[in-house]
Amino acid sequence: FVLPLTQNKSAITGAVNATAGNALFQTNIGAGLSSVSELFAKVEDSGSRAVILLSDGAGRIDAPTQQKIRDWFDRFDIGLYWIVLRQPGGISIFDENLKIRDETQPPPQIELFEYFKTFRSPFQAYEAEDPASLEKAIKDINLKEKKQIFYEEVIPGSNYSLHFLIGAFLMTFVLFLLKLIELKK
């Protein structure tokens, strides 16, 4: 839902308060990762093959979709870099001392982190709480993805330079012969 420009203070306050919560739990990470991994099936394996997932950590992926994504990432050797936009004071995916209240289902970001670690293809997670930590994560990814990209370029037309060079030598030889004949007469 998009809120048009308004003077309604309660609507503005409600919209601001809605962004302050943890997530809307409407993130369909499974569909996004399925779509992006499918794109690599159509691209030759040259250079870096990586996906950068920037998310708030919310969203869950069902088991069949998890298996499909894992298979595609492993088959096409796609690296996954996950940058979690973490709210200050929020749950950290790197916190080994985290006590989960509901033992049956961990928070979505912890569940995703554990799932991504099962990939055989390269995986690296980052947490970004501010612009500086986001910039640091992007710079680190940039340092890791420096593989050369090989491609073939078809140059239109043909190279006729050798043909013209031979033709020029033949014409010069003919002119030279004509000059010799002229001098003898």
Per DSSP, the residues of 44-74 read: -S-S--EEEEEE-S-----HHHHHHHHHHHH
- Does residue 1 carry a pLDDT above 60? no
Output DSSP code: residue 86: P
- Does residue 76 carry a pLDDT above 70? yes
- Does residue 143 carry a pLDDT above 60? yes
User: Higher model confidence: residue 173 or residue 149?
Assistant: 173
Tell me what percent of the residues of the chain surpass a pLDDT of 70.
Answer: 86
The overall average pLDDT reported for the chain is: 83
**Domain assignment present for 7:** no
pLDDT tens readout for residues 156-172: 888 889 999 999 999 99
**Domain assignment present for 53:** yes
- Does residue 95 carry a pLDDT above 90? no
- Give the number of domains in the chain: 1
Compute the average pLDDT of residues 97-107.
72
**pLDDT confidence of residue 169:** 97
Beta-carbon-side half-sphere exposure of residue 157 (alpha carbons within 13 Å): 3
- Does residue 15 carry a pLDDT above 70? no
Helix 29-39 crosses helix 63-75 at what angle (to 10 degrees)?
A: 30
Task: For residue 85, give the 3-state DSSP assignment.
Answer: strand
> CB of 40 within 8 A of CB of 78?
yes
**pLDDT confidence of residue 145:** 84
**Domain assignment present for 13:** no
**pLDDT confidence of residue 8:** 74
**Domain assignment present for 159:** no
> CB of 93 within 8 A of CB of 107?
no
**Domain assignment present for 17:** no
Q: How far apart are CA 106 and CA 101, in angstroms?
A: 8
What's the pLDDT band for 16 if we cut at 50, 70, 90?
low
**Domain assignment present for 98:** yes
**pTM exceeds 0.85:** no
Which tokens belong to 102?
Answer: 């509901």
Q: How far apart are CA 73 and CA 30, in angstroms?
A: 13
Encoded amino acid at 23, one letter: A
The residue among 7, 80, 77, 4 whose CA lies nearest residue 46 is: 77
* Helix H or strand E segment including 140: helix 131-144
Task: State which residues form the domain around 121.
Answer: 24-144
Encoded amino acid at 25, one letter: F
**Domain assignment present for 158:** no
* CATH code of the domain covering residue 89: 3.40.50.410
The residue among 74, 82, 84, 96 whose CA lies nearest residue 124 is: 82
**Domain assignment present for 166:** no
Compute the average pLDDT of residues 111-125.
91
